[in-house]
Amino acid sequence: MKMSELYVPTLREIPSEAEIPSHQLLLRAGMMRKLVSGIYSYLPLGYRVIRKIEKIVREEMDKSGCQELLMSAIQPKELWVESGRWENYGPEMFKLEDRNNREFCLGPTHEEYFTALIKDEIKSYKQLPLNLYQIQTKYRDEKRPRFGLIRSREFIMKDAYSFDRDFQGMKAAYQNMWDAYEKVFKKLRLKFKIVEGDSGAMGGNESHEFIALSEVGEGRIAYCDNCEYAATDEKAKVSYDLKCKDEEEKKVEKVYTPDLRTIEEVSAFLKIEGCNFAKALIYKAKDEIVFALIPGDRELNEIKLCHYLGIAEHELELADEDVIKEITGACVGFSGPIGLKKGVRLLVDSRITKMKNFVVGANETNYHLRNVNYNRDFSGEVVEDLLLVKEGDLCPKCGEHLKMDRGIEVGNIFQLGTKYSKSLNATYLDENGKGQYFYMGSYGIGVSRTAAAIVEQCHDDKGIIWPLIVTPYHVIITVINVKDQSQTDLGEKIYKELDKLGLEVILDDRNERAGVKFNDRDLIGIPIRITVGKRAKENIVEYSLRASEDNMEINTDKIIENIKREFKNQDLDIKEI
């Protein structure tokens, strides 16, 4: 393709709304455009990347025995009511009505729909196992769409659903998808970790996330270098050495702590460490008020709290000042477990029960209580673990200290068990003619998000550095001076030769300054570059890679050999392309 004809509207300025490199670069490189918050178009170069990612996903899915189909994005309300997710899914679901006022949603995911599809058609155990996938546009009305393709409202996803006779079958399907996903992300040359995930709105049993490592990732993971343990911070089970002294229970004292509302302030004032405080968090949880108490030096994990309460994430929110005043009788900052209004549900992280003589809010403005002890002074529902993991906590498998990292969730796999087959009453007949619920799994890859994750891992301050396997074009030929006939002729000649080999080539034939062309090619990140300049008459061109600083002059008859070497370096064969 000639650059003069290619639609690549590059931008010099960083668009103000773009906070992270992939978002900035995909916009600047003319690969995508924003329509409205969280909704993007893929321009020609960007869409070539998307399609290449899709191709790799498709190949690995097909190899794994998964069969491709395509469902509608529109789904009727009834399916979601049956599964109980019409309400539960919350405001992230785009809902609409048709001209006859029938209610629908735009599928954020397709568990219900696949279950309903299979339900009346797979009748016998002989037709199992079955694994079906689609690559489709999905819709989630994110509360805070951001980071471009990383958290958008309309996005491309590969989703697969497996149907098995029993738990063992489901486990095998899960492992099969695990292996296929590893292959996909390795092929895409992503640095990633596979971590235990939270099943969230999916329900079901075990789940894992494939996290592309990245500083800007919204996902935080805890992992152990000693063993294989790794989990999202939402999921990771918290274990750590409590610094509680084995001392006598002392007498409760009320202390005057004027205007000191945070644990840091009170801790400094009383000269008592934060770990000897019990921190109160008050929530509106669906229809009730919940008072959670955790060690003062820790953060609460809201996902764990939701699971314990059996509510959806969007049903939990921090209580406002009025509510706090009503249930504690005091201003914000002085809440404690003693003397709460009746009817408030008091949840106590299990660590609190082991602490001695700790500080809590007095439920009286400007006062705290010290030397409070669980059981003696108050009691509540003890919850084993309400805490968010942090660096240095103990590995729940081997006891070593955990490390933390950040990343972008590019894939996830879920063991759903019989959650959906039961709620939608989907059964097959076993050998004895007896109806049995399907054991299901569901498996997602964020295709558009993966494109962004690749950019996060493959860029420098000049632009993107595409791996050959997903680059929109393999080679860019830059003609320095298009008014020099020998240069344009040679550029054209090389362009045709490489094209004939099946390589995807851009010929930058624009009548622009060399600097503009160099900046554009750095920005759009084509991996292999050929520069045709003054020595065109001698058949000498410059050959360089986007990923390295090296730049060498070579005779044109060495071009193909060099390109082949680079393909080989990236574990590819030109013929594969």
Give the one residue of 14, 39, 332, 547 binding a copy of itself; rule: CB under 8 A: 39
Instruction: Please name the amino acid found at residue 554.
Output: I
Number of residues that bind a copy of itself (CB under 8 A): 49
Cβ 277 vs Cβ 372: under 8 Å = no
- Using CB under 8 A, which of the segments 41-49, 265-273, 299-307, 532-540 binds a copy of itself? 41-49
Q: Does 42 bind a copy of itself (CB under 8 A)?
A: yes
> In sequence order, what are the beta bridge partners of 346?
291
Give the one residue of 117, 323, 514, 560 binding a copy of itself; rule: CB under 8 A: 117
Q: Does 124 bind a copy of itself (CB under 8 A)?
A: no
Cβ 229 vs Cβ 236: under 8 Å = no
Residue 290 to residue 319: CA distance in whole angstroms: 9
Three-state SS string across 458-527, please? CEECCEECCCCCCCCCCEEEEECCCCCHHHHHHHHHHHHHHHHCCCCEEEECCCCCHHHHHHHHHHHCCC
> What six digits make up the tokens of 119?
């339900």
- Using CB under 8 A, which of the segments 13-21, 131-139, 537-545, 550-558 binds a copy of itself? 131-139
- Using CB under 8 A, which of the segments 35-43, 180-188, 337-345, 539-547 binds a copy of itself? 35-43
Kindly report the CA angle at 574 between 450 and 411, in degrees rounded to 5? Answer: 15
Tell me the closest approach of the beta carbon of residue 68 to a copy of itself, in angstroms.
6
Write out the binding residues for a copy of itself, residues 143-202 only, by CB under 8 A.
143, 153-154
Kindly tell me which of 46 and 197 has the beta carbon lying closer to a copy of itself. Answer: 46
Residue entry with tokens 């006891």 = 399
Furthest-apart CA atoms within the chain: distance in Å:
95
Give the one residue of 6, 190, 278, 285 binding a copy of itself; rule: CB under 8 A: 6
Output Rg (C-alpha) for the chain, integer angstroms: 29
- Using CB under 8 A, which of the segments 40-48, 191-199, 225-233, 276-284 binds a copy of itself? 40-48
Residue 207 to residue 441: CA distance in whole angstroms: 9
Residue 555 to residue 536: CA distance in whole angstroms: 10
Residue entry with tokens 């989907």 = 426
> What six digits make up the tokens of 262?
């945070």
Give the one residue of 33, 146, 356, 403 binding a copy of itself; rule: CB under 8 A: 33
Tell me the closest approach of the beta carbon of residue 39 to a copy of itself, in angstroms.
5
Tell me the closest approach of the beta carbon of residue 445 to a copy of itself, in angstroms.
17
> What six digits make up the tokens of 340?
């709460």
Write out the binding residues for a copy of itself, residues 64-83 only, by CB under 8 A.
65, 67-76
Closest C-alpha to 443, from 417, 411, 419, 421: 411
Kindly tell me which of 41 and 425 has the beta carbon lying closer to a copy of itself. Answer: 41
Q: Which helix (H) or strand (E) segment is 532 a member of?
A: strand 528-532
Provide the CA 424 distance to its chain's centre, in angstroms: 28
Q: Does 558 bind a copy of itself (CB under 8 A)?
A: no
Kindly tell me which of 73 and 387 has the beta carbon lying closer to a copy of itself. Answer: 73
Write out the binding residues for a copy of itself, residues 208-267 only, by CB under 8 A.
none
Residue 128 to residue 149: CA distance in whole angstroms: 36
Residue 355 to residue 347: CA distance in whole angstroms: 15
Contacts of 301 (CB under 8 A, 6+ apart): 233, 234, 238, 385, 386, 387, 388, 389
Residue 72 to residue 84: CA distance in whole angstroms: 20
In degrees rounded to 5, what are phi and psi of residue 137?
A: -80, 130
Q: Does 132 bind a copy of itself (CB under 8 A)?
A: yes
Kindly tell me which of 136 and 328 has the beta carbon lying closer to a copy of itself. Answer: 136
Tell me the closest approach of the beta carbon of residue 143 to a copy of itself, in angstroms.
7
Q: Does 502 bind a copy of itself (CB under 8 A)?
A: no
Give the one residue of 63, 96, 254, 392 binding a copy of itself; rule: CB under 8 A: 96
Cβ 462 vs Cβ 169: under 8 Å = no
Q: Does 91 bind a copy of itself (CB under 8 A)?
A: yes
Kindly tell me which of 67 and 569 has the beta carbon lying closer to a copy of itself. Answer: 67
Cβ 191 vs Cβ 457: under 8 Å = yes
Kindly tell me which of 41 and 262 has the beta carbon lying closer to a copy of itself. Answer: 41
Q: Does 473 bind a copy of itself (CB under 8 A)?
A: no
Instruction: Please name the amino acid found at residue 508.
Output: D
Q: Does 99 bind a copy of itself (CB under 8 A)?
A: yes
Give the one residue of 43, 194, 280, 530 binding a copy of itself; rule: CB under 8 A: 43
Q: Does 443 bind a copy of itself (CB under 8 A)?
A: no
Tell me the closest approach of the beta carbon of residue 150 to a copy of itself, in angstroms.
16
What are the residues binding a copy of itself (CB under 8 A)?
Answer: 5-7, 9, 33, 35-36, 39-44, 46-48, 50, 65, 67-76, 91-92, 94-96, 98-99, 102, 106, 113, 117, 121-122, 130, 132, 137, 139, 141, 143, 153-154
